[in-house]
Structure 1
Amino acid sequence: MEEEKKTVRAVERALEVLLCFASGHEWGLTEIAGQVGLHKSTVHRLLATLEDKGFVSRDAATDKYRLGLSVLELSANLWRSDDPSVALLPEMERLRDQLGETVSLYIRDRAERVRIQAVQSKQAIRRVATVGARLPLSVGASSKVLLAFAEASVREAILSDPAWPSQLDRSTVGKQLDEIVTVGYATSFEEREPGAAAVSAPIFSRSGQLVAALSVSGPSNRLTPDRMHEYAPAIMEAAHRMGTISG
């Protein structure tokens, strides 16, 4: 029998408090308590501990909290030379300069995709991509790539998850993913938000493992369906080069 997952509730709560700062720069005690669903006295104790260890700091003037220097110290050790978000950055910049649109790198984290790197377009009107953003795997070109080229067990688990949007027919999506595997790339046109479009291709390591999804995104009036298909070969070629770099 698989060993039951064990967690420490106090640690979970402290991490939930820290994760609030992923969607906001500063938070008040009441705001954090509302976000995590805990009593203010409990949150106050958690914040006091986090502040003591340097993970948050409090602005005495506004009585709001922000991330502390300990987070910066940890993040300094996160980025390694072999990390795809660092190793692939020059190729991403090259692709951005070639196509003129924003280039992003996504990985799958359970039932979400996370943008781990982005190179913004230099055009005045552009798709702004925030590094660290978490997005659902149900929509978007890179989501389709991460699902289409995932192991069969992973794809099945995500498509059969009760949290999968009811308006998206699993069978239809499965057929679309099979088509993406055949053509080698995926597109999305105003699927997640109006006015935005994207085309994405998989990055495979030299051993054949899926490393990430490479995505080019921009305004839908510029990145039209025809333009995306025109760009697809260049994106797949860039993804292939990145695969030789990522190991």
Structure 2
Amino acid sequence: MEEEKQTIRAVERALDVLLTFTAGNDLGLTEISQRVGLHKSTVFRLLATLEHRGFVIRDEATEKYRLGLRVLELSASLQREDDPALMLIGEMERLRDQLGETISLYVRDRKDRVRIQAVQSQQAIRRVAPVGARLPLSVGASSKILLAFAEPEVQDLLLHDPSWPASLSPETYKEQLREIARAGYATSFEEREPGAAAISAPIFGRNGKLFAALSVSGPSNRLTPDSMLESAPAIVGAAKRMGAMIG
């Protein structure tokens, strides 16, 4: 049976409602309804159920909703000592102190990349990296790593997906991915937004499988193409140490 046929529509809708809060708390019924594309009466019933189970809280004064304590209970269960993302914080902090920029870990989730861990730069002007941020796979140094070291069939599916930008030729991009795989790292310079740059390297876990992309990001006036080339060995080396730690 196909994956789509195995899902329960009511559960999907409830999860869609919860996911609207990734953009922030204090959302009204109309706003949530518009974001999930459901009638307000349906969303109201879903919110009532989530409120009853403690996943959302309704402010009686403003009639707006925010996440409840039950969500914190779920997130707390992720804070285990054997969580690889937590195990690598020390090494990420050392790399941050060495390079002075924000360090992040990204993993691929279907057609997106998701930041699962971050250590912020201590400089006044820095790249803010919220954990849980979901970004497209078509731009960014970490996206290139996640694609370059993915299985060939995964690459083909993603590069020929209808959501892939028409301006990016799959064949040309695939050649770029091959070059990245040979080099062992990827860079991006003002690709996703002006003034931002990043360099990324792969972290391989058990059985040599890609675990995450280690990324260093910062303002493009500090992370210039020359400076990224100079720091590449340190980033690749840190990624290898991290792989050994989780492997």
**Normalising TM by the smaller chain, what interval?**
over 0.9
Q: What's the CA shift string for 1:147-179, capped at 9, x where partnerless?
A: 001111111111111111000011110000000
Following superposition of structure 1 onto structure 2, how do residues 72-111 of structure 1 map, counting pairs within 5 Å?
72-111=72-111
2:166 paired residue number: 166
Q: Does 1:205 align with 2:211?
A: no
Q: Distance in 1 between matches of 2:136 and 2:123?
A: 27
Cα 1:116–1:3 change in 2 (3 A) is closer
Aligned-pair identity in percent equals: 72
Query: Cα offset for 1:80?
Result: 2.4
What is the CA distance between 1:79 and its match in structure 2?
A: 2.8
Name the counterpart of 1:220: 220
Cα deviations by residue, 1:52-97 (Å, 9 ceiling, x for unpaired): 0000001112111000011111111123222221011110000000
Task: Give the equivalent residue in structure 1 for 2:14.
Answer: 14
For the pair 1:140 / 2:140, whether they are aligned, the reply is yes
After TM superposition, give the deviation of residue 11 of structure 1 in Å. 1.0
1:124 matched to 2:124:
yes
SS across alignment from 1:65: strand
Cα displacement (A) at 1:5? 2.4
* TM-score normalised according to structure 1 size: 0.97
- What is the alpha-carbon distance in structure 1 between the residues aligned to residue 70 and residue 43 of structure 2? 19
Q: CA, structure 1 residues 140+61, in 2 after alignment: closer, same or farther (shift >3 Å)? A: same
Deviations 1:106-155 (A, max 9, x none): 00001110000011100001111111000111110000000001111111
Preserved contact between residue 82 and residue 246 of structure 1 (Cα < 8 Å): no
Determine whether 1:177 maps to 2:177. yes
Structure 2 unaligned blocks of 5 or more: none
Measured after TM superposition, the shift of residue 44 of structure 1 is: 0.8
When the two structures are aligned, how many residues end up with a matched partner? 247
Counterpart CA distance in 2 for 1:3 and 1:189 is 37
In structure 1, C-alpha distance between the alignment counterparts of 2:175 and 2:51, rounded to whole Å: 50
Task: For 2:65 and 2:176, locate their aligned partners in 1 and report how far apart those are by CA, in whole Å.
Answer: 45
Which residue does 1:237 correspond to in 2? Answer: 237
Q: Deviations over 1:10-31 (max 9, x none)?
A: 1111111000001112201111
Q: Distance in 1 between matches of 2:42 and 2:3?
A: 30
The aligned amino acid for 1:152 is: P
Distance 1:36 1:171 in 2: 35
Q: Is the 8 A contact 1:144 1:186 kept in 2?
A: yes
Cα separation, partners in 2 of 1:123 and 1:10, compared to 1, 3 Å: same
> Aligned AA for 1:199?
I
